[in-house]
Structure 1
Amino acid sequence: MTHPQTRAARKERADFFGPHRGTLTASAPARLDVMGGISDYSGSMVLQYPLHRSTTVSVALRSDRVFRVASTDTSSTGVHREIEVRLPARFSYASLKRMFNKESRWASYAIGCAAALIKEKGVACYGADIWIDSTIPSGRGVSASAALEVAVMSGLCKALNVRLKDKELPLLCQFVENRIVGAPCGVMDQTVCYLGKANTLLPILCQPQTVFEPLPVPNGINFVGIDTGVTHAVSGDAYGSVRAAAFMGYEIIRRSIRKSRPYGGYLANITPSVFDSKYLSLLPRHLTGRDFLDQYRSTVDRETVVRRSRTYAVKAATAHPIYEHQRVILFKHYLESLERCRPSQADRKRMLNQVGELMYQSHVAYTQVGLGHERADEIVEMARRYGESRGIYGARITGGGSGGTVCLLTAGRNGLKSAREIAARLPGRSNVFTRSADGARWRP
């Protein structure tokens, strides 16, 4: 996709819609996962930072049940991608998924939004032309897919005069990604892309979606994203396997105490002390899908499938959201104290080191569950070596892991300079994300 402001993109967009056709434009930002990440599907608190990179869509309604989606491919300058799908009056999500192959799957995020409005909300939507512009790199762990869903859903709702509650729209976008695209994501990405505020962290308790007041980033502190250059996907096998393993662990715990929905259905509600004393010894380090299914038959998770031929790291995947939830709560407390208490310089550095240590612990945990990557480890190790003296206090892999983007906690201009130096030492050209922006916006 090209930058929305380039002359070529404007001409392509005008040609796509034709003359004298009214359009509505909506946009949504990328996000940087500061803390929480993959624990969202287990009910953890997460802290998310909206980025300045964004996806912008233009929408014009049609009346012939045709949905036409177009964009420009970033991998080949000027290469235009376009797909046209006719939705019958009656369709199933399974039949909709079959309309897309590997090459056209990108369009299912947009057309899926229309399909969800039709089937879940009873909206009379008889077709649309949708043009996509984006400055968000795909597959880099900064929620390009969620930004696209939120932008398209916002634009369609405005064009169709559909009113959804603030929390309802992100949940519907998550539904699109889970049921139509086929990616077993939680709801944190769509929520921050829609509700995020510039220069703040959005705290979300994912049970399923309690949103707290945005947390201002303390003065002089920056969260910087460094692109590893390694593509990742939430729809990939590694992410799905870790999620399945976490729910396998929950099922073992559930059966051991003979309750239908213990801890409200969320691993994150188990405290570390209770987990360590009561449940840790019940969980095998590794368990084959065959052995699990023979004994337990299934999990409570609708978005993943336990495969008989696969071996799962059950203990690590189950433990991760329990410990991560506590790390996020502490992280949030320290940042609130930095903002509210105005500590001395020495106390400020001490608190920043404690915050940074929580990030380093989270990074190690990603490796333990099987979602680490050597390039991310390289960036985190450089951050450690730079350290406090050069303005860097912490770092962790983000989002679905397995590459993507690393988040750094930096202080002052020296920290920003150091982050850019680290990015420059990586092979190739890495994206560096430093600026923030508000959540979804629309305009006629």
Structure 2
Amino acid sequence: MNRYHGGSAPGRLDVLGGVADYSGSLVLEMALSLETRVRIRALDEPVLRLHSEAHGRAENSAALLAAARREGATEADLREALRASGLPSWTHYPVGCILLLALARSWTPPSGLEIAISSSVPEGCGVSSSAALEVATLRALASLSGLAFEGTELARLAQRVENHMVGAPCGLMDQLASAHGSSGHLLPILCRPDVLGDPLALPPGIRAVGWPSGVKHSVAGHPYGRARAAAFMGKRLLEAALGRKVPYLTDFTPEEYHMQQEHLAPALPGEDFLDGWKTIDDPLSVIDPDAHYPVHAATAFAIEENDRAQRFLADLREHGQTGDEALLWRMGGCLYASHDGYSAMGLGSPETDRMVEVLRALPPSAGVFGARISGGGSGGTVAVLLRESALPTLRALADQITPGQRLLE
């Protein structure tokens, strides 16, 4: 029997930055202790078998593997083969990794493969279960194939899988955090597109944890897609107002945004934008003429979130030198402001709003510094910055407000 090759990768908690990643923002991510494990082995028979503890079994006659071995196959060919295979959607992540690895590295997969998936990373919670699955699968495939990845190459290939094989228009933040993050440390990522900073440990006695809302989140949903397109629409409008092209929306300063914000409509009809501007420089966004886009709020969020992340990081470093508690409260204020920004561009939810407001109303003595909806928003998980001694209070609130949802650490 051929031996298994394994790979693992953690979920991540988005402490600050979130959907500003596709606008070139600084984001601050923390790997969770929860992880996804993938085991892969070659089979002598021509079949593709998959087993997931969460989703069950699926099988394909190995036509997909044959497509990956076909000379001259393109990404579009492989995407169409995957969609025509009849395999359930959960398999598109690992199978997409096989197909794009074969294409990107001229690798010839075996005629048969067996894939086994187990995970403690909850799905639909906004903690990058999909990125963890992609990164873990590519690590297992690297062992199977003997191929090596350098730098951020693996994370970038994982993002291609999600964007082009699965069809979710996510930024690179999630895959980078899963591939390079470490538990208990903030990983600064400048999403231009993949500049990694040195991980920073949180101060002793200070924790960042996730509080799941129980509301399923998906970056393939309409609110996320519209907020993303709106940010790129805002970039186009600011470029015209300020008379210069920039690589990223976050190249504009908060001061420049405030001076020109009258050019940004709160709800811009897609038809009006297309009539005046035709297109945006984002290949993953499609502007619907009949939809309205939160251009003002999405533009403001990206520019201000980048500024918040810079200030949060500076305060964290200063706290390490001075121990000044006021800096922790200022960092918490950045989280609350970020949460409000999500809500303004349509990426909030009543459930996460209630969770954050309950925490915001606690007295300082409770030891909760700040909280925000995280990741792609629209439900998912609230990131909470707090004293370790405040964890029992948070667990009690979770039992009361979101019964059955355990904290993610």
**TM-based fold match above 0.5:** yes
Does residue 149 (structure 1) correspond to residue 167 (structure 2)? The answer is no
Aligned mates of 2:196, 2:107 — CA distance in 1: 27
Q: Does structure 1 conserve the Cα–Cα contact (< 8 Å) formed by 2:47 and 2:59?
A: no
SS at match of 2:401: coil
Shift of 1:63: 6.3
Deviation readout 1:396-428 (Å, 9 max, x if unpaired)? 000000000001111132x11111111111243
SS at match of 1:235: coil
SS at match of 1:432: coil
Which of 223, 233, 248 is matched with 1:266 structurally? 248
Partner of 2:384: 408
Q: Which TM-score applies when normalising by structure 1?
A: 0.86
Which of 103, 106, 116 is matched with 1:131 structurally? 116
Aligned mates of 1:71, 1:175 — CA distance in 2: 22
Does residue 357 (structure 1) correspond to residue 333 (structure 2)? The answer is yes
Partner of 1:289: 270
Partner of 1:394: 370
Alignment CA distance shift 1:100-1:282 (3 Å): farther
Partner of 2:93: 109
Shift of 1:258: 5.3
Deviation readout 1:313-370 (Å, 9 max, x if unpaired)? 11111111100000001111111112233x2xxx31x111111111000000000010
After TM superposition, the structure 1 stretch with the greater mean CA deviation from structure 2, 119-128 or 58-67, is 58-67
Does residue 433 (structure 1) correspond to residue 408 (structure 2)? The answer is yes
Does residue 423 (structure 1) correspond to residue 398 (structure 2)? The answer is yes
Taking the TM superposition and a 5 Å limit, the aligned residue runs for 1:189-208 are: 189-208=174-193
Shift of 1:118: 1.4
Alignment CA distance shift 1:64-1:320 (3 Å): farther
Runs of 4 or more, structure 1, over 6 Å off, are none
Which of 80, 83, 86 is matched with 2:63 structurally? 86
> What is the root-mean-square deviation of aligned Cα atoms in Å?
1.7
Alignment CA distance shift 1:401-1:100 (3 Å): farther
After TM superposition, the structure 1 stretch with the greater mean CA deviation from structure 2, 354-363 or 383-392, is 383-392
Partner of 1:5: none
SS at match of 1:129: strand
SS at match of 2:174: helix
SS at match of 1:197: coil
Shift of 1:269: 1.5
Aligned mates of 2:39, 2:401 — CA distance in 1: 36
Unmatched runs of 5 consecutive residues or more in structure 1 = 1-19, 75-79, 435-444
Which of 54, 58, 70 is matched with 1:73 structurally? 54
After TM superposition, the structure 1 stretch with the greater mean CA deviation from structure 2, 393-402 or 58-67, is 58-67
Partner of 1:122: 106
Q: Which TM-score applies when normalising by structure 2?
A: 0.94
Aligned mates of 2:294, 2:170 — CA distance in 1: 19
Question: One-letter code of the match for 2:166?
Answer: V
SS at match of 1:337: helix
Question: One-letter code of the match for 1:81?
Answer: R
Shift of 1:100: 5.7
After TM superposition, the structure 1 stretch with the greater mean CA deviation from structure 2, 58-67 or 173-182, is 58-67
Aligned mates of 2:364, 2:37 — CA distance in 1: 38
Alignment CA distance shift 1:63-1:160 (3 Å): farther
Aligned mates of 2:177, 2:283 — CA distance in 1: 23
Q: Does structure 1 conserve the Cα–Cα contact (< 8 Å) formed by 2:6 and 2:143?
A: no
Deviation readout 1:207-243 (Å, 9 max, x if unpaired)? 0010010011111100111110000101111101100
Aligned mates of 1:427, 1:358 — CA distance in 2: 24
Shift of 1:106: 0.8
Alignment CA distance shift 1:120-1:257 (3 Å): farther
Aligned mates of 1:241, 1:97 — CA distance in 2: 26
Question: One-letter code of the match for 2:231?
Answer: A
SS at match of 1:386: coil
Aligned mates of 1:299, 1:250 — CA distance in 2: 9
Task: Report % sequence identity.
Answer: 37
Q: Does structure 1 conserve the Cα–Cα contact (< 8 Å) formed by 2:49 and 2:57?
A: no
Deviation readout 1:22-52 (Å, 9 max, x if unpaired)? 0011110111000000000000000001001
Aligned mates of 1:109, 1:154 — CA distance in 2: 13
Q: Does structure 2 conserve the Cα–Cα contact (< 8 Å) formed by 1:393 and 1:410?
A: yes
